[in-house]
Structure 1
Amino acid sequence: MTDPAQLLAAINARIAHAAKVAARQVDEIALIAVSKTHAAAAIEPLIRAGQRIFGENRVQEAQGKWPALRAEHREIELHLIGQLQSNKAEEAVALFDCIHSLDRPSLVTALAKAMDKAGRQVPCFIQVNIGAEDQKGGCAIADLPALLIETRGANLPVSGLMCVPPADLEAAPFFALLDKLAADHGLAGRSMGMSDDFETAVMMGATHLRVGSALFGARG
Structure 2
Amino acid sequence: METTVLVIEDDAAVRQGVVDALEYSGYRTLQAADGLAGLELARRGSYQLMLLDLMMPGRDGFAVLEALKRDRPGQPVIILSARGEEEDRVRGLRLGADDYVLKPFSVRELLARVEAVLRRSCERPAPVDQWSIPGGAVDFSTGELTFSDGGREMLSEREAALLRYLLGAEGRVVTRAEILRHVWGLDPARTETRTLDMHVMHLRTKLRDVHQSLLVTVRGKGWRLNA
Shared fold, TM over 0.5: no
Larger Rg: 2
Normalising by the residue count of structure 1, what TM-score does the alignment of the two structures yield?
Answer: 0.30
- Whichever structure has more helix as a proportion of its residues is 1
- Whichever structure has more strand as a proportion of its residues is 2
Normalising by the residue count of structure 2, what TM-score does the alignment of the two structures yield?
Answer: 0.30
